[in-house]
Amino acid sequence: MRVNLAAAAFALTVAATAAHAGIIINSSVGGAPTGVTKENFDTLTPAIGGGGVTPTGISVSTTPDAGVMMGNVSGIYAAPFLTGGNGFGFGPGGTNQADGQDATAYLAAGATNTSAGAQVSITLPALERYVGLLWGSVDDFNTLSLYNGATLVATVTGSQVIAVANGDQGPDGTVYVNINATGATQFDRLVLTSTQHTFEMDNLAFNPTAIPEPGSLALLGGGLLGLGLLRRKSRR
């Protein structure tokens, strides 16, 4: 969670599609697809080290340097920014959340920067093949790890979901990340870690059946990702 250093790069970061061992990652301004279970964590009590079980059957546990947060603390953590459909279906009773900074509870790892082992652990009700999450102020030092029991099946870093992972706290820096399993891959636990301030997330969606990726979004993501790679090469 750092200040915005490259707002002009937003055109290159609104969508990105990439394949990794066992998973396909799609990140965009838009939110979760239809036909999934949605969890906003609003029943959890905000607290460092907080957690609990949600109405959708998700179990959340955190270390003392992570927790259930609300609002912002300058230079430490900031609520994800809702825009372009990121909050659709995640409000009370399945309503849509308003655009702007998330005014409800969200999860954060590395919120006080006092423990190198800080993490948020999210245990899903069953083995899944799809998960989506609102990833706020994406940093390159944020890491999402997917597990099947105790076995690590995939990792996703901030630089894999947005072209410029510089901690932008505005609409440019938050994306909705949809992850689909490939082959025999399944997962039932997500672990959020961050080596610096902070990995913030909210609005989790999950489904045991992989969600087909919209073709138009995939093409757009591939094109923008290519532009981002060309832009990086031109700097060398």
> Cα–Cα distance between 127 and 170 in angstroms, integer?
33
To the nearest 10°, the Cα dihedral for 106, 108, 114, 119? 130
- Tens-digit pLDDT profile for residues 133-169: 999 999 999 999 999 999 999 999 999 999 888 888 8
% of the chain with per-residue pLDDT over 70 = 78
What is the per-residue pLDDT for 209?
Answer: 86
Which of 46, 41, 67 is CA-nearest to residue 56?
A: 41
> Cα–Cα distance between 176 and 222 in angstroms, integer?
16
Fill in the amino acid letter for 202. D
Which residue has tokens 């087909």? 212
Q: Is residue 17 part of a domain?
A: yes
Range of the domain at 21: 7-235
Compute CA distances 86 → 32, 35, 106, 162, whole Å. 7, 16, 14, 15
Q: Is residue 180 part of a domain?
A: yes
User: Considering its fold, how many domains does the chain have in total?
Assistant: 1
More confident of the two residues 18 and 235:
18
| SS3 (DSSP) at 235 | helix
**What tokens does 196 get?**
């610096």
Which of 69, 204, 80, 88 is CA-nearest to residue 146?
A: 204
Compute CA distances 210 → 100, 160, 217, whole Å. 29, 20, 16
**What tokens does 39 get?**
């969890």
Which residue has tokens 């301030």? 197
* pLDDT confidence band for 232 (50 / 70 / 90): very low
> Cα–Cα distance between 167 and 197 in angstroms, integer?
9
CB 44 within 8 A of CB 68: yes
Q: Is residue 161 part of a domain?
A: yes
- Tens-digit pLDDT profile for residues 8-41: 333 333 344 555 678 999 988 789 998 999 999 9
Give the helix, strand, coil percentages of the chain, each rounded to 5. Answer: 15, 40, 45
Q: Is residue 2 part of a domain?
A: no
Q: Is residue 139 part of a domain?
A: yes
CB 66 within 8 A of CB 58: no
Q: Is residue 68 part of a domain?
A: yes
Q: CATH number, domain at 99?
A: 2.60.120
Q: Is residue 1 part of a domain?
A: no
For 200, list phi and psi in degrees, rounded to 5.
-110, 140
Q: Is residue 210 part of a domain?
A: yes
